[in-house]
Amino acid sequence: MSRIAARFKALAAEGRGALIPYLEAYDPDRATSLELFRAMPAAGADLIEVGMPFSDPSADGPVIQAAALRGLKAGATLVGVLDMVAEFRKDNDETPVILMGYVNPVEAYGYERFCKDAAAAGVDGLILVDLPPEEGAVIAAPAQAAGLDIIRLVAPTTPDARLEYVLAHASGFVYYVSIVGITGTRSASAHDLAGAIPRVRAATDLPIAIGFGVRTPEQAAQASSIADGAVVASVLLATLAETLDEQGRATPQTVPRVLEQIGGLAQAVRAAGQKPE
């Protein structure tokens, strides 16, 4: 069983959903982001999404854009991102790691080589925001051969007929984009989510995580109990950005503040406990 499947299965047995925090690689520098990465599981991360910085993140809001820019300035490359995952794996073999980013750097690296190297580094799944299933043939076979899950996004705009098509190309879990918009701008209401998730649930056996707009412990608790997990990104990156000095460098506050916020989110997710279904 893959790490992703094993983790969701274990959490289901515990009767709770997953907290999936996001980290932008090399933000604000390699050492700080690696330190944060390694400390996330103990702070309550059930799965971790690692952002691969890209120069033109057209589906992201200002907070993730700024984080990507900081990462690139600090010298992020895909080789460097995979190397970070390999270091993380030295003392963590259970927490699933999902890389999230845009397709061009992966295309430049080479799909086959990337999937092989990512799997070898200990990556479990990939989310390529601008690679819809229509264009997904380039990565489907290499990912499968390497044992990597291709996590698909589903949006409120995805019609039922298309939902089936998208899910036919999904593995690992389904990432439900809870709002019509870019990251870090607005949030869906519990009412919207309660209406939307059964539609996706009916179309798949895969676990469902809700992302885009999950910011507070309450929202994380709600999302993780309505679905099977909650992805939290912009608000963590905003906290990280707040702790940087004028030159954009990490301070002693950086790692602890972000971890503390993850701790609060994790506590709420755990307390939400037994899911209604």
Partner 1 sequence: MANPIEHGGAAAQSNSFRQQPDEHGHFGGRYGGRFVAETLMPLILELNEAYEAAKADPAFHKELVYYQTDYIGRPSPLWFARRMTEAFGGAKIYLKREELNHTGSHKLNNVMGQILLARRMGRTRIVAETGAGQHGVATATVCALFGMKCVIYMGATDVERQKPNVFRMRLLGAEVVPVTAGAGTLKDAMNEAMRDWVANVADTYMLIGTVAGPHPYPAMVRDFQSVIGEETKEQMRAAEGRLPDVVVAAIGGGSNAMGIFYPFLDDTSVRLIGVEAAGHGLDSGKTAASIERGRPGVLHGNRTYLLQNADGQIDEAHSISAGLDYPGVGPEHSWLNDIGRAEYVGATDTEALDAFQLCTKLEGIIPALESAHAVAYAAKIAPTLPKDTLLVVNLSGRGDKDIFTVAEHLGVTL
User: Where does this chain bind partner 1 (CB under 8 A)?
Assistant: 54-61, 65, 72, 77-78, 102-109, 129-132, 134-135, 152-159, 162, 166, 177, 180-182, 185
Nearer to partner 1, 173 or 255 (CB): 173
CB of 181 to partner 1, least distance (A): 4
Catalytic site residue 91?
Answer: no
Catalytic residue among 24, 29, 49, 228: 49
CB of 68 to partner 1, least distance (A): 10
CB of 113 to partner 1, least distance (A): 13
Catalytic site residue 112?
Answer: no
Catalytic residue among 60, 117, 124, 228: 60
CB of 120 to partner 1, least distance (A): 19
Nearer to partner 1, 18 or 129 (CB): 129
Nearer to partner 1, 88 or 212 (CB): 212
Nearer to partner 1, 41 or 181 (CB): 181
Nearer to partner 1, 104 or 253 (CB): 104
Question: Three-state SS string across the chain, please?
Answer: CCHHHHHHHHHHHHCCCEEEEEEECCCCCHHHHHHHHHHHHHHCCCCEEEECCCCCCCCCCHHHHHHHHHHHHCCCCHHHHHHHHHHHHHCCCCCCEEEEECHHHHHHHCHHHHHHHHHHHCCCEEEECCCCHHHCHHHHHHHHHHCCEECEEECCCCCHHHHHHHHHCCCCCEEEECCCCCCCCCCCCHHHHHHHHHHHHCCCCCCEEEECCCCCHHHHHHHHHHCCEEEECHHHHHHHHHHCCCCCCCCCCHHHHHHHHHHHHHHHHHHHCCCCC
CB of 50 to partner 1, least distance (A): 16
Supply the residues annotated as catalytic: 49, 60
